[in-house]
Structure 1
């Protein structure tokens, strides 16, 4: 009998998660059926509950529902509690267990796959939604020199600063505040790339030997990565590695088995 899993988001048709989890299941001998589910802000809870009633075992949660997934969870892991955002739901014994594997996935990709050292680096994190909140704690625990969170609306970045200030040196600002500054690692956690847009970043912000990292991915460089290339960032990376690594962590949460990821990252990178 196949166990049912899904990823929920909007948009969702582009998602590689069904392919990734199906490959993980083949690799590890698990028997699952994994599909995409489209939802809106109005029916997110209804869609999740309907899936539970059909016998669904778990869901991955992507844009724009990570904050909503946190709210409906009846039990939370430490990392989900601190992030106040959830990307992995497990349904068991009438409970909804919320977890967040984004931070783990990002660090595994940057530190292990890309071999980029985060410690003592100046980090700029663009965005203040669920995607950004899910990685702040993991980044701070790597002891960067500073972590600056930038958002179009300064109030939103200040909320993240207040949420995480006790875990490390974190600065909040809007895009005008970072003019004249340089960063070693700039992470785009906004949804701008989905709309083929660029966050309003000023010129001259990429330091020598810097990494530009976009959580989004596509069949060509995102506007953010094109900008980074023009600004002579040393290294460019899209979100394929993070996607696979956070999926592997979710797979481990559900099945207690950690799948191998390198070959899948390489295959997906060639495909797109």
Structure 2
């Protein structure tokens, strides 16, 4: 009997996760069912319980549910605990165990696929929600010198920085005063502004130097506005979140099935489809 898995989020119909995990399962000879389940924060606990009652024992979680998923877990992995956000659920005996594979997935994509050396880099992280929380600890672990977190609600940026526990290396900044922060080697967009009706404030060209790479954790149409700005600003590389999506999915697959699939064929196929 095939295993039952799902990805929860809102919106979720655009998700590539079912295709990714189907490809992983086929390559590894593992039969599985993987579906999308759309739910908001308020209805998420009931939706997760219904999924469990159907036989679900492993799931992914995306916007806007990563922090809510953290609260529903009876135990957490180190990455999830540091992030305060969960993107992968694993049933363990009598409770959901929460992991966060976003950060490791991003670092693996940036270093292995795109050839970036994160060591010594000054990084600007735009956003302080579940996506930003997921990647921030892994960026620090990868050896960056400084992480500046900016969010339209400054208190959320302050909360994330406090949770990271890296005074001096992780600091918050007002979005409106980013032009006072100097330039960065990496600028990461972890906001969901392109999926909403409210665009983020415009970014200064002074944030960019000759080595700057721009990374959007979104992919497809949602990544177009930020990466268009990055191209116009002269960023050396413009990278969307498709590779991170594949790498974090592979890490989740390993947690569920004990095997880490080859990600390159799946990434190549999705890149051909996405452009």
The CA RMSD over aligned residues, in Å, is: 1.5
Paired with 1:61 and 1:98, the residues of 2 have a C-alpha distance of 10
Question: What is the match of residue 186 of structure 1?
Answer: 187
Cα distance change of structure 1 residues 163 and 227 upon mapping to structure 2, 3 Å threshold: same
Contact 1:199 1:224 in 2 (8 A): no
> Deviations 1:132-185 (Å, cap 9, x if unpaired)?
001111000112121100111211111111111338711101212211421110
Q: Does 1:243 align with 2:268?
A: no
Contact 2:218 2:241 in 1 (8 A): yes
Question: What is the match of residue 64 of structure 1?
Answer: 64
Question: What is the match of residue 44 of structure 1?
Answer: 44
Paired with 1:163 and 1:231, the residues of 2 have a C-alpha distance of 32
> Deviations 1:38-85 (Å, cap 9, x if unpaired)?
002221100000000111011100000000000000011111111110
Contact 2:194 2:223 in 1 (8 A): no
Paired with 1:202 and 1:165, the residues of 2 have a C-alpha distance of 28
Paired with 2:222 and 2:93, the residues of 1 have a C-alpha distance of 44
Cα distance change of structure 1 residues 70 and 44 upon mapping to structure 2, 3 Å threshold: same
Paired with 2:208 and 2:272, the residues of 1 have a C-alpha distance of 27
Q: Which runs of 5+ in 2 are unaligned?
A: none
Question: What is the match of residue 99 of structure 2?
Answer: 99
3-state secondary structure, aligned to 1:64: coil
Q: How does 1:26-41 map to 2 (within 5 A)?
A: 26-41=26-41
Question: What is the match of residue 90 of structure 2?
Answer: 90
Question: What is the match of residue 133 of structure 1?
Answer: 133
Cα distance change of structure 1 residues 60 and 221 upon mapping to structure 2, 3 Å threshold: closer
| Structure 1 ranges of 4+ moved more than 3 A | 195-198
Question: What is the match of residue 118 of structure 1?
Answer: 118
- How many angstroms does 1:204 deviate by? 2.1
Paired with 2:154 and 2:122, the residues of 1 have a C-alpha distance of 19
Cα distance change of structure 1 residues 269 and 195 upon mapping to structure 2, 3 Å threshold: farther
Question: What is the match of residue 212 of structure 1?
Answer: 214
3-state secondary structure, aligned to 1:148: strand
Paired with 2:51 and 2:222, the residues of 1 have a C-alpha distance of 34
Size of the aligned set, in residue pairs, is 272
Normalising by the residue count of structure 1, what TM-score does the alignment of the two structures yield? 0.96
3-state secondary structure, aligned to 2:165: helix
Question: What is the match of residue 200 of structure 2?
Answer: 199
Contact 2:246 2:266 in 1 (8 A): yes
Cα distance change of structure 1 residues 220 and 130 upon mapping to structure 2, 3 Å threshold: closer
Paired with 2:174 and 2:52, the residues of 1 have a C-alpha distance of 40
- How many angstroms does 1:92 deviate by? 3.1
Contact 2:195 2:222 in 1 (8 A): no
Cα distance change of structure 1 residues 253 and 127 upon mapping to structure 2, 3 Å threshold: same
- How many angstroms does 1:230 deviate by? 0.8
- How many angstroms does 1:123 deviate by? 0.2
- How many angstroms does 1:192 deviate by? 1.1
Cα distance change of structure 1 residues 153 and 47 upon mapping to structure 2, 3 Å threshold: same
